[in-house]
Amino acid sequence: MPAEARKREYKRLWQRVQRKMRNVHINAAGPSTVLNSEADNPRDTMPIWNPGLKNAMTGESNSDSDEMSFVNADISAVTSLQHTMAEDTENMVLDYSSSDMDREFFQNTANIDMPTENLEEELKRWINEYNIKHNAAEKLLKILRNHGHKHLPSTTKTLLKTDPVESQMVSGVECIKLGVTEQLIMCLNRYPYNYAKDITELEISLNVDGLPLFKSTGKSFWPVLCTVHLKPASTFPLTIALTEAKPKSLDFIKVISDELKMILMNGFAWGETTLNVRLRCITCDAPAKAMLKCIKQFSGYYGCDKCTQKGNWEGRITYQQVHDLTLRNDVSFREQHQPEHHHENAVSPFSNLQIDMIKSFPADYMHQCCLGVMRKMLLLWSQGKSGHRLSPAQLREVNQRLRNLRNDIPHIFARKPRSLEELERWKATEFRQFMLYTGKVVLRGILPETLYSHFMAFSVALCILVSPHLTQTHNVYAHELLTYFVEQGRHIYGKEFLVYNVHSLLHLTADATTYGSLDKCSAFAFESYLHQLKKMVRSGNHVLVQAAKRLQERSQIPIQTSEEKPIQLKHPNNVYIVSPTSCCEVLERTNSGKLLCRVFSHLTSYLYEPCDSMIYGAYVCGPSKMEIVDKTNLQGRAMILEDGHGRKVVFSLLHDLD
């Protein structure tokens, strides 16, 4: 019998059983039984359960034996159809009655097991992943309980095991102290045991930044964030302060730094082992870094935290000296050899740690290069003085080229290119994409040659410093390019161009070399987490408690360790580097497990200024041919863009893709 026919037969027999059960119930329970005569659905007219009916269904009553024999026969037929239908599909869900009576009857007669395996865990993950409000989740729990899932709790707090949370006052600042050791243990417990059991040392990074919560008030979070560098990395707060403005007291951070000092010295106990902890760096933007180190802001005359140069006033503080800089070090900082650089009677809460107070606070290329220098140049080209500003026709051409690239940008980029008309709304990842990749294509032939060469020095240097391999092999050349960029910037755009962000490029190579690449000490991961933290606050009441409870709930969700990423087969995500002179587009998998690819084996250099573009992975595609390629030959991700002259240009993806 076809599956659809069996479904119809099942429904017919089910309704027949119900009609006969009503007759049995009336005979067994007597005339006092009340039926719903107005019900439209015969399943809705099932009577209230009583012992007489139970005996009738189980065949224990001697009355109405003839009627019960027909009922039992129909029940057997229904059960037989259920088993047959279950064989047709594993995921079939039968349409039980909406009343408790129907469910109990069905389970007692047909012994159907409802698919509730791991339902609670799935609900927890769903609520946390999509940031579902508690009242909406409780409504869903009520619906599920009404439809047979009585084992589920009735409230979201019980499901998520949310404990009460209280804030505390530290030197007049309201905060939630989560604790360093507690958070590290909680983080490790989220990883699979087989992965975490072999860990002997944790490497962590810290970040402190302000997070405005509402447009209508000045309330802001000031969390101390920690990233544990495992695979995948995990970010979480150690403490969160709530202020109406920039915090005047850093005692809430001092509490964390004191505990961190003991952990860095002695480690912490996790199970039966003691894990060592190493602090990689403390990554902040320039204002937060000055606040934490208790030094003058970047806009002050002695605002550079890397060298002792005194700034010059050119309508704003600028740093005109490019060569022979006197660098700061840990000793000169702690002994305050340049008092003008420090605030009087103020000591950094991190000065009690055994760290280098200069090298442990690297320049953050997200704020200083992407949101700083790259944004500044784009504003000069689109809205600046007439000598540097592009014409309306040129801007339209740049915007059209950016829009034409949208379909060629892989999904690993969070955002597709937008036109310069929306420049004020660009995010840091969009500036990074333009700085490293798309800017080379869309500006070529439109931006004046002098400005384009100047931009290319900056772009190529950053391409080198975001790549761990190129940072090791070409860091000296990257520093030369950045020095040239700063010097030429003064001649092209004027003395006012050498503001703090531009000056910091002179110190960027040293930080990239110290940490392996700029992505190893950037704030991208922290900024992404701040966005998640803000979404945990849903109203203006008890915002700290709200965030702490959401964090508590999310801490129970396991972290999936990194697995081998699948090979992508669809454009634009299927481009891979095969060798230094070839790349491919993966089209499909063969039966033998290998890959059918369109291979471009004659790659040539895209640019020769300021250096051969093959050094940083920019090529022009030549002819292609179909080949079978083993997946072990794929060396890295790439993308293919069309420039304004109809050529296909391949860019190796250099920045951290995790």
In a domain, 137, yes or no: yes
Question: How confident is the model over 617-636, as a mean pLDDT?
Answer: 93
Indicate whether 473 and 408 sit together in one domain.
yes
Q: How far does Cα 108 stand from its chain's mean position?
A: 48
Give yes or no for residue 598 having a pLDDT over 90: yes
pLDDT in tens, 164-192: 888 899 988 999 999 999 999 999 999 99
Residues 267 and 355 in one domain: yes
Angle, CA 38 vertex, CA 35 and CA 40 arms, to 5°:
110
One-letter identity of residue 546: Q
Read off the pLDDT of each residue in 145-150 and give the average, rounded to a whole number. Answer: 90
Q: Are residues 193 and 251 in the same domain?
A: yes
Of residues 123, 264, 242, the one with CA closest to residue 533: 242
In terms of DSSP bridges, do strands 201-208 and 273-282 run parallel, antiparallel, or are they unpaired?
parallel
Nearest to 650 by CA among 614, 608, 624: 614
Most confidently modeled range among 196-200, 380-384, 482-486: 482-486
Residues 427 and 371 in one domain: yes
Q: How many CB atoms lie within 10 A of CB 527?
A: 21
Mean pLDDT of the region 652-657: 91
| 4, 227, 357 from 258: Cα distances, Å | 70, 18, 16
Any idea which residue has 């580097």 for tokens?
A: 577
In a domain, 266, yes or no: yes
User: What average pLDDT does the segment 268-289 reach?
Assistant: 95
pLDDT tier for residue 83 given thresholds of 50, 70 and 90: low
Is residue 348 a contact partner of residue 253, using CB atoms and an 8 Å limit?
no
Domain annotation covers residue 376: yes
Record the pTM.
0.80
Q: What is the mean pLDDT of the chain?
A: 86
Q: Which of 21-30, 243-252, 349-358, 519-528 has the lowest mean pLDDT?
A: 21-30
Section 44-53 average pLDDT: 40
What per-residue confidence (pLDDT) applies to 583? 95
**Residue 511 domain flag:** yes
| Nearest alpha-carbon partner for 498 in 335, 304, 358 | 304
CA distances (Å), 57 to each of 33, 53, 70, 236, in order? 17, 6, 11, 57
Q: Name the β-bridge partners of 295.
A: 342
Assigned token pair, 406: 């949208």
- In whole angstroms, give the CA distance from residue 467 to residue 516: 8
What pLDDT does 35 receive?
41
474 shares its domain with 494: yes
Confidence tier at 106 by pLDDT (50, 70, 90): very low
CA distance to 20, 64, 382, per residue, from 13 (Å)? 11, 20, 75
Q: What is the count of structural domains for the chain?
A: 4
Domain boundary among 520, 540, 566: 520
Confidence (pLDDT) at 560 = 85
Would residue 330 count as lying in a domain? no
* Cα-Cα-Cα-Cα dihedral sign, residues 4, 5, 7, 11: positive
Average pLDDT over residues 238-266: 93
Segment of 65-74, 85-94, 381-390 carrying the highest mean pLDDT? 381-390
Q: What is the mean pLDDT of residues 236-263?
A: 93
Last residue of a domain, one of 105, 129, 160: 160
% pLDDT > 90, the chain: 67
Percentage of the chain exceeding pLDDT 70: 82
CA 20 vs CA 23, 63, 133: distances in Å? 5, 14, 46
Considering the domain boundaries, does residue 107 fall inside one?
no
| 605 and 534 assigned to the same domain | no
Maximum alpha-carbon separation in the chain? 108
| Inside any domain, residue 181 | yes
Average pLDDT over residues 367-379: 97
Q: What is the pLDDT of residue 19?
A: 66
Whether 73 is in a domain gets the answer no
Among 160, 187, 209, where does a domain finish?
Answer: 160
Q: For residue 32, what pLDDT is reported?
A: 40
| Separation between Cα atoms, residue 340 and residue 548, nearest integer Å | 40
Cis ω before 448 (30° cut-off from 0): no
Instruction: Clarify whether residues 487 and 409 are in a common domain.
Output: yes
Same domain, 156 and 204: no
Which CA distances in Å does 114 have to 76, 78, 93, 540?
19, 17, 8, 42
Calpha distance 177→155 (Å, rounded): 27
- The full length of the chain comes to 658
> 14: burial class by Cβ within 10 Å (0-12, 13-18, 19+)?
buried
Predicted confidence (pLDDT) per residue in 400-414, tens digit: 999 999 999 999 998
Distance in angstroms (rounded) separating the CA atoms of residues 464 and 479:
10
Same-domain pairing of 631 and 507: no
pLDDT in the model for residue 471: 97
Closest CA to 626 of 594, 591, 583, 597: 597
Q: Is 253 in contact with 321 (CB distance < 8 Å)?
A: no
Does 545 lie in the same domain as 515? no
Q: Which domain holds residue 397?
A: 365-520
Whether residue 469 is found in the same domain as residue 592? no
Residues 237 and 282 in one domain: yes
